Structure formats: C-alpha cells, structure tokens
Amino acid sequence: MTSLKTTDYRMENFIVSARKYRPATFDTVVGQNSITSTLKNAIRNNHLAQAFLFTGPRGIGKTTCARILAKTINCENLSENIEACNKCESCTSFNNSASFNIHELDAASNNSVDDIRNLVDQVRIPPQVGRYKIYIIDEVHMLSASAFNAFLKTLEEPPAYAKFILATTEKHKIIPTILSRCQIYDFKRITLKDIVNHLKFIADSESVEAEPKALHIIAQKADGALRDALSVFDQLVSFSGKSITYQGVIENLNILDFEYYFKIVKAILNNDISTSLLILNDIIENGFDGQHFLIGLGEHLRNLLVCKDAGTVKLLEVGDELKTDYQIQSDNCSVEFIFKSLEINNNCDINYKNSNNKRLHLELAIMQMCSLVLSDGGKIEQKKRYFHPPKPKTIVEENLSKEINKEIPQVKSEPPKEEKKETEVYNEEIIPELQKPKIMPNMPGSISIKQSTEKNGKEQKEQEETTEDESKKLVDNFTQEELILFWKKYAESISEKEPSFSSAIAKYNPVLKDDFIIEFKVDNKLVVGNNINILNLQGYLKKELNNFKINLAPVLAQKEDNKAAYTDAEKFNKMAKKNPELKNLKDQLDLEIEF
C-alpha cells in the first residue's frame, strides 16, 4: 500500500497593519498635529475639560487619540514632551488591556437607558490606581434619546476624577444639550502626502518594496482614511508578496490607469474622433463601468485646469512623475476647452443613469469634446459673421413712417450713434436682432406694417428687385381720370381675393401729386397692415400707366363721423345722434349705460 504523506502547515498569528502600527503616543499620530498639540498643552497646563467630543470621518485617529489621552493623563511619570512613560503601573496595565481606570463602551451595541445607568453607577466609584477614571464612548451618536437624557446630568456635573471622551462620525445626530457640555475637536481627513509617508514607513519596516506611484494610488483609494489605506496595503502584500508595483495595484483594485485619460485627452485635442472611440472601447472591454470612466475623466480635466496656474498646482494630489505629465498636457489645452469639456462631462454624468443606450450616450459626449477644438492648438473656434446694412426704405415706407410719427408722442432721443461700415464684423448674438423685420407699435391713429409671412416676404423681395432698373425705363404722363379708372379696375379685380383691401381703396379716389406720388386715404390702420397689398397695387399701376416712378402714399382719414364705435357708450351716442328720440327714451326710463 502506498502511504499518504501529510504536510504540517503552521500559520503565525497575523496582526493587521492598522493594529500593529497603531500610534501609542501623541507624536506618532498621523496628520492631526493641531489636535495633539492642543491636548498636550491642556495636560501641561492642567486645563483638562470634563468631557471631550472627537468627531470626523472614519479611520483618521479619533479612538486612537482618545486612548492616548486616557493613558497619558493617568501616567505617573510624564516626559518633558508630555508623553506617557510606558513603565509605570498605569501604563503597563493599559498596554496589557487590564486597566481598571480606563473603560471603553461601544454605544452601537450599548445604547439603551440601562447601559447608561450602569455606567453612571460605575462613575460613583473613585479610581484605585491613578488620578482619573476615564470613559471612552465610541459611536456615541447611536445612543437613544432616552439614553442621552439619562446621561446629561452626569456629563454636566461629574466627579472631579471622572473624564468622558466621546467619539463619533456623525456629530449632527447628537442632541445639542450633549454638545454644549463637551469640548469639541474636529478631526480632518489625512492628506495624501501624510498617508504616502506612513505607508512608506510601514513598507520599510516590513521589508516590502513599493513603487512610489503604487503608494499614491493606495492613498488616493483610501480617500483620507489612514485605516482604509493600511487595509488596502495588507491586501496588496497578500496579492503580490514583498513587491508592490503600480501595475499590480491597478489590477488588484480595478482602477483605471491614468494613461488612458492622457491618451483620450490627447486624441480629443487632435480632433481625432476615431482614436477616442477606440480608446473608450478598450476601456469598456476591460470591464470598467462607463460612469466610473466619466468620474475619472472629470478628475483628470480638473487636474489639467489646476495646472494652469502656478498657485493652484499644490492642489494636485498625485506623485511627482504624474504631476509633470499633467503640466505638459495642460500647456497644450486652452482654458476654454477645459471648461467646455468639464461641462459636457458633467452633463453626461448627470444623465448617464437615465439613458437607455449608455454606451452611445458616452460616445456622444466624447465626440462633442472632439468637436470643440481645432487641430492646431486646442483653441475653440469663434465664428463671426459679416452683416451688411439693409437697403434704403421705399417711398411707401417713408410716407407710412411720417404718418406714424405724427401720431406718436415725441420722446427725447439719445444722440445718434456712429453708423457702422459695411465691412464691420458683428457678433452672432447681435445679428438676429438686427435682421428682425421692424414692427411699428399699434398706437391710436398710427399705421403699423406687420411682419409679413415667409411667402409674402419672397414676393416683396421680388417686387423690390424689379425697382433697380425702373429708372432706365420710359416715364409716360397720365391724367387724374386715367388714374381713377385703373384704380377702380384693380379694386374690382381683387374684390374676391382681398375683399377688405378692395373696399378700402374703392371708398376714396386717389389724388395725383407732384413727382407721380399718388396719395390715397384709408379709414383704418389695419387696412394697410400688410404692405404687400400696396406694393402689388403700385406694380399694377406702373405697368398699366407705363410709368415706373409711381409711388403710393397711404394717409389715415381723420373724420369723427367715420370713427368706428367700439364701446356700448360710443354706439349709443352714435345712434342717438341720428335719432334724438333715443336719448329722450333713456332719460324717461332712467336708464344707465355701462361704460
């Protein structure tokens, strides 16, 4: 028979880096120098508060500082630097987790009134060894409302030997009466530089070779939490052994390589849509989510913008090698391009989740960025347009304007502005305003020419084009009788197509003036609301009378008798003028007319 050999696997007790390298003194706390200095000064000057509240994000040293403070104030042989000696009975018992004077309570699992009552009962017992009895309550915001109320009196007037250190990540959940009884210390996120230096110290201590770029990626992934950075560090050591490389970090943590962003921005600056889409396809095929790419691209564009000013380069939280790459690419980008690209990226990020075709939505954003720049340097194209002044007004329009000016009250005008030359450049935003057809105000007694439709505008253009060669044609004289004959003939010919205009021009006979100007009256300004009718009549008379200098001049007939009645009072007065008996009937019956 064959014998089976068994191998004896022995595993050493592994301690995670967050516990193994946990700070034991104020000087070893990472990234909280202002708080540790304040606490040391309070101990030196004997100005210790009765209750402390340590608040801030996770993994930045709140509980660690609470333990160091508790250990230090009970130390019997403080150093000159206000640090615990680690030799006295209080320090050794604390280091061995056997101290009877320092108590830790997890408020997440001990949040009832009974738990707080037990704590209050313990406070009444003075310390047997050491000066103070310290209670560290972690995640204090998890206490119930009734537990907070039970804790209030003890927190406000504790015995002289009792100190409370509360720690929380959510200060806003703590009732104001508790906050008012504590000295509050706001812990900040640990900077990228401090995390990298601490990781480098641990890597050297553990004989682990780590690339600086790799440590920067770990620090960025931790987002200001040192404990998270140490957890990731342990994970990578398990993955790659004693050598941590940049490539191994991005593969293990599923992080998109910075090179992808540099490549795609370079393609966008070159206006190369096809290369940009191929890079995007490579990113998606490697398993990265589209929104993850958008977030990274936005961060990349932000870093390029930060590099535009020497004063803001310090906001760039990357390694020295990447910082150089960012500055080089930033020099090739205009600020306008970065702003517009950030706007497109942000809009794409906002609408990404609601898009049915997410990949197309992402590709459209990339193509929009490519269309922003020219191939010669990243400048956004500024389109300009040339505008030529309009043609001079016809005599018909000038006469209409004169009639309008007679009725409109004169307003003090500003000094005339200098006329623009034909070759002057106008911005796109101003051109549409200049090209709008002029619409006269609808004021009483004035004549307004309304904006013609697209069809009528075409006819007007053709009518105006025919006037260019009119001066070259013969001009025949004609009499007032001939004018009236053709005038009425035209009114009859349009009676079905334009009945209102036909009846308006047939009511009054035209009058021939000097220089072949024909003046005619109208009762209502709406009759000539569309100057196409007048131009058509003018063209007809020119052709029939063989005179191409004819110009029509409509005039508003101002007669009280012909004034139309609109209100009930005006209608009654007009009827009473024709039949006075109506007024007598109204007076006899004592009737009132509603105005």
Q: How far apart are CA 520 and CA 396, in angstroms?
A: 12
- What pLDDT shows up at residue 223? 83
Is 483 buried (19+), middle (13-18) or exposed (0-12) by CB count in 10 A? buried
What's the sign of the alpha-carbon dihedral 330, 333, 335, 340? negative
How big is the CA angle at 433 (ends 427 and 434), to the nearest 5 degrees? 80
Q: How far apart are CA 146 and CA 149, in angstroms?
A: 5
Percent of the chain with pLDDT over 90: 18
What average pLDDT does the structure give for the chain? Answer: 78
329-343, 456-470, 495-509: which range is least confident on average? 456-470
- What pLDDT shows up at residue 1? 41
pLDDT in tens, 125-144: 888 777 889 999 999 999 88
**In terms of pLDDT, which residue wins out, 380 or 511?**
511
174-183, 443-452, 566-575: which range is least confident on average? 443-452
Neighbouring-strand partners of residue 426: 385
Q: Kindly report the pTM of this predicted structure.
A: 0.56
Q: Domains in the chain and their CATH numbers?
A: 17-186 (3.40.50.300), 192-252 (1.10.8.60), 269-370 (1.20.272), 395-405+423-556 (no CATH)
Q: How far apart are CA 509 and CA 521, in angstroms?
A: 8
pLDDT at 318 over 60: yes
Secondary structure class of 535 (helix, strand, coil): helix
Q: Could you tell me the pLDDT band of residue 402, with boundaries at 50, 70 and 90? A: low
Taking CA atoms, 186 is separated from 32, 35, 92, 183, 201, in Å, by 10, 8, 30, 10, 26
